[in-house]
Amino acid sequence: MRITSLFCYPVKGLRGVATAALQFGPRGPLHDRHWMVVGPDDRFLSQRSTPRMATLNAALTGAALVLSTDDGQRLDVPLDAGVTPRDVVIWRDTVRALDCGDAPARWLTERLGQACRLVHLPPDTVRLLDPKFSPRADAQTGFADAYPVLVTNAASLEALNRDLPRPLGMDRFRPNVVLDGAPAWAEDGWRVLQAGAVTFDLVKPCARCAVITTDQRTGETPDGPAPLATLARLHTLPPFGAIFGQNAVHRGPGTLRLGDEVAVLESQPTATP
């Protein structure tokens, strides 16, 4: 197998950035889900409730997080913006973040049509993984839903697309690492992968939600619930539900690059969905 695509998502819920390399730090890919948009109640916003987030770009330069729209509107947020602590909620976790200030709050509020603010994780904030699935007591993540890395299999998307009236792009599933060269759904049985210089523990299948029905360019749902309903019919794994991809935890720092070879170091048999 080889790595065919790599993605970083600087702001949770906004568009991802395709990249030729991903460097890994303690929380996962550097700058991945390092920023997050929160509502007036300080709870995270995502495409589940705010699909318009899919229409906004988030990219990194050497000195700034660049927020932009497809028609050229842009705001540069300095990487060190934010000195005001803010306790924010992501699922069941409450973590200490830093508010990035009024300028990005206004920019995002105008484009998302609801009051919100941008926050980022300071270096001293540690968000540990669910101990039920964590391979190590000190494993952590940023503002990702629950795990630092999502691995997907190109053949599984091909299998799903054969049953859909219109094929989906892999961006619907918002992975970090896309692999090619394995049979469809083979990832269900993988437990440890060696990808380039980084070793991953695959700790939990990724249960999918309505986000996969959202076009990642327009923020619309052109096929209604069909993509999720079809996935549920084709690939449901109890007790998780409709599954696509595997949540992974890296064992240490390193860099992945497009074309890197990937080997399955440990696997186990899987039941047919």
Please classify residue 210 by burial: count the beta carbons closer than 10 Å to its beta carbon, then call 0-12 exposed, 13-18 middle and 19+ buried.
middle
Residue 189 phi, psi (nearest 5): -95, -5
Choose one of 63, 95, 126: the last residue of a domain. 126
Beta bridge partners of 3: 179
Distance in angstroms between the alpha carbons of the first and the last residue of the chain = 23
The reply to whether 272 falls in a domain is no
Classify residue 138 as exposed, middle or buried by CB count within 10 Å of its CB (0-12, 13-18, 19+): exposed
Count up the domains in the chain and report the number: 2
Q: Are residues 81 and 198 in the same domain?
A: no
* Domain co-membership, 208 together with 103: no
What is the structure's pLDDT at 269? Answer: 78
| Confidence (pTM) | 0.96
Specify the pLDDT at position 273: 52
Q: Which domain holds residue 215?
A: 2-27+129-267
| Domain termination site, one of 96, 126, 156 | 126
pLDDT at position 90: 97
The whole-number pLDDT of residue 271 equals 56
Whether residues 61 and 116 share a domain: the answer is: yes
Torsion region of 229: left, alpha or beta (phi above 0 gives left; psi -120 to 50 gives alpha): alpha
| Residue 52 one-letter amino acid | R
pLDDT at residue 18 above 70? Answer: yes
Report if residue 151 sits inside a domain.
yes
pLDDT at 272 over 70: no
Instruction: Flag whether 18 is in a domain.
Output: yes
Going by their DSSP bridges, the two strands 241-250 and 64-68 should be labelled as: unpaired
Please report, for the domain that includes residue 183, its CATH number. Answer: 2.40.33.20
At 128-154, the pLDDT tens digits run 999 999 999 999 999 999 999 999 999
153 with 90, same domain: the answer is no
145 and 244 inside one domain: yes
- The pLDDT mean for the chain works out to 96
CB burial of 3-28 (b: ≥16 within 10 Å; e: otherwise) equals bebbbbbbbbbbbbbebeebebebbb
Q: What is the mean pLDDT of residues 239-257?
A: 97
Q: 65-95, pLDDT tens digit by residue?
A: 999 999 999 999 999 888 899 999 999 999 9
Please tell me the predicted confidence (pLDDT) of residue 220. 96
Q: Residue 178 has what pLDDT?
A: 98
56 in any annotated domain: yes
Q: Decide which of 75, 94, 126 is a domain's last residue.
A: 126
- pLDDT tier, 32 (very low <50, low <70, confident <90, very high otherwise): very high
Dist. CA 140–CA 29, nearest whole Å: 12
Convert the pLDDT of each residue in 90-113 to its tens digit: 999 999 999 999 999 999 999 999
Q: Does residue 273 form part of some domain?
A: no
**Dihedrals phi, psi of 255, to nearest 5 degrees:** -130, 130
Whether 199 contacts 192, CB under 8 Å: yes
